[in-house]
Structure 1
């Protein structure tokens, strides 16, 4: 698999298994060792590459240990400190002490889902207080993938990533700040945006009046931007159309070829596209993600392998007023609908989705 596919596969594993992880050792085994091996490409069983429980004596303290040290040519390049997956990453004081007594230029603090990467931009051989890169497997930022790839065994480029670290640090921090303000606008931002549209004095009453308006406007703006991008991606001339099987049918054959070419008035919803992305993320553990395609119909949303109507992977039945369903296919391509209450419920059928893709490949 390609680097991005391996990263997505690990992200899916973390999403499916994190609720079952109860100890720090389980976090290491289930999430962090696969990150070191399958994503970064280092052999976790080769002590010339990865040293678990690496001893890092600090001052008068002896026997201090770091969870993992990654070596290249006998020199420590990265230190990794692990926390229980259910814990929020808040401080890196222990890692800060270790960093100063090794040759490492990169330090990582992680709970298996969120990875904070540090270096020594502010002072040589002293770990910065803030990370230059934050990788969240639950919300992957594709712009960070090329930088993360520089830390892999195959493409290790310490100089390049350290040179880019300052920009990454501040751009990432600004993006996270903007995201926080979209969720809950800071008083300064409320005042600034209000001053653009309101000429009166900015009193406490005006602040209280405009804060929910600013929050609503920000959310609508973001939604409009997403919808514009989707319209561009899907084409302004309308969507590829398919005619649905009867809504009441529980078992049905795959989409008919004639139906796939028929133009009908179909509205593809954002929720259907989000569901498609989840199915795509699941299936990309078996095939390249670009092979997973979708076609919409009046009463269902079809997800296909190789954009081939004879290779249906799943159907999303989201057009009903209340209950949503995901349609899954057996070896004879008969569809069975399974009720879901939220998009995350699709992950419960990850095994069936992968099995269907593997069957087409075989």
Structure 2
């Protein structure tokens, strides 16, 4: 299994089981030990590689323990402190990490609840752990640009120097990206004022701020939608399709059965963020059976199709999200007859995980001709 596939599989497990986890120990067993073993590649049952409940007496704080210490050549390299999966991470949770960081050879400290992993080092002062992480990995909102950096900490290609050298840039780029994301969700006064001053010539009173606050938020959402749509158009435009003449197009249509709805696709189609989020959920479920890059999507006027190998004869699911009153998930039986299931929210898709996986397996077991 590829590194990215392992991350996707663990993310699916976290998504499906997180709300059922009630204790810190259960979080360790269900999520964090698999992260150490499957993702980082260390043997959690080998004390020469992973030491649970690691103890190093520190001043008056004797007997305190860090949940895990990852060892290489008999030296501590990574310290990991764990919290319950339902707990939000705060710097106050890292008190043991601060103390242990100063008395061991570790250059990397990790604070995690099984879903979010905050990686720290000592950029601000030697042998003193920074108060802000240089890398934040959220398995349920994975930033793919961080995957190569995470891979450098795996047992197979451990490259601490490269990680430390890149840490400062990662730290500030990550903080800026999270700040921008927060402003798109809930813009602060300074953010609103910044844009208002550039489009509004009069004095900015409180009434004007109140008027522009929803406008700035709306513009941000529309901008993100347009960026997503542009990326989709670029991806479709570079996927290897070549232009054909009208005669060739007619012959192609008559020589292979194509779903009637697919013929209705045109430039009026608008792919929404909600459809893309639904697609990512289906993709995460299906990647337990195939590599994620084999799960493709095509948007149409009346539905959003999710396909295996971008083949419209291998439908996995359809998202019927165009109605404002009710959303549906379309699933297919062995004869490719579609049944619609009502959704109260995107999380309801997980209730149909078995059917989604079964559809993928059916194409693998009985390949459909392209």
TM-score, normalization: structure 1?
A: 0.87
Q: C-alpha displacement at 1:269, in angstroms?
A: 2.9
Q: Distance between the aligned counterparts of 2:300 and 2:17, measured in 1? A: 34
Q: How does 1:12-91 map to 2 (within 5 A)?
A: 12-91=12-91
Aligned counterpart for 1:286 among listed residues 286, 289, 303 = 289
Q: Distance between the aligned counterparts of 1:206 and 1:303, measured in 2? A: 44
1:25–1:217 Cα change, 3 Å: same
SS of residue paired to 2:230 = helix
Moved more, 343-352 or 46-55: 343-352
RMSD: 2.4
Counterpart residue number, 1:313: 316
Counterpart residue number, 2:233: 231
Aligned counterpart for 1:115 among listed residues 114, 117, 125 = 117
Q: C-alpha displacement at 1:301, in angstroms?
A: 3.7
Moved more, 178-187 or 264-273: 264-273
1:213–1:46 Cα change, 3 Å: same
TM-score, normalization: structure 2?
A: 0.86
Q: Distance between the aligned counterparts of 2:190 and 2:302, measured in 1? A: 46
Task: Determine if the alignment matches structure 1 residue 155 to structure 2 residue 157.
Answer: yes
1:206–1:310 Cα change, 3 Å: closer
Q: Distance between the aligned counterparts of 1:315 and 1:336, measured in 2? A: 10
Preserved contact between residue 65 and residue 96 of structure 2 (Cα < 8 Å): no
1:217–1:95 Cα change, 3 Å: same
Q: C-alpha displacement at 1:45, in angstroms?
A: 1.1
Task: Determine if the alignment matches structure 1 residue 325 to structure 2 residue 328.
Answer: yes
SS of residue paired to 1:294 = strand
Preserved contact between residue 271 and residue 299 of structure 2 (Cα < 8 Å): no
1:355–1:226 Cα change, 3 Å: same
Q: Deviations over 1:232-276 (max 9, x none)?
A: 33349xx9xxxxxxxxxxxxxxxx941259733453532434322
Give structure 1 regions of 4+ aligned residues with deviation exceeding 6 angstroms: none
How many residues get paired? Answer: 345
Q: How does 1:1-362 map to 2 (within 5 A)?
A: 1-91=1-91, 92-235=94-237, 257-260=256-259, 263-266=263-266, 267=269, 269-270=271-272, 271-296=274-299, 299-320=302-323, 322-362=325-365
Q: Distance between the aligned counterparts of 2:135 and 2:303, measured in 1? A: 40
Preserved contact between residue 321 and residue 327 of structure 2 (Cα < 8 Å): yes
Q: Deviations over 1:26-76 (max 9, x none)?
A: 110111111111111111111111111111211122211110011111111
Structure 2: runs of 5 or more not aligned: 242-254, 366-370
Preserved contact between residue 257 and residue 309 of structure 1 (Cα < 8 Å): no
SS of residue paired to 1:200 = coil
SS of residue paired to 1:125 = coil
Moved more, 267-276 or 92-101: 267-276
Preserved contact between residue 326 and residue 343 of structure 2 (Cα < 8 Å): yes
Q: C-alpha displacement at 1:154, in angstroms?
A: 1.0
Counterpart residue number, 1:252: none
Counterpart residue number, 1:253: none
Q: Deviations over 1:81-134 (max 9, x none)?
A: 000111110112232112111110000000111111000111111100100001
Q: C-alpha displacement at 1:320, in angstroms?
A: 4.5
SS of residue paired to 2:257 = helix
Q: C-alpha displacement at 1:206, in angstroms?
A: 3.2
Q: Distance between the aligned counterparts of 2:99 and 2:76, measured in 1? A: 15
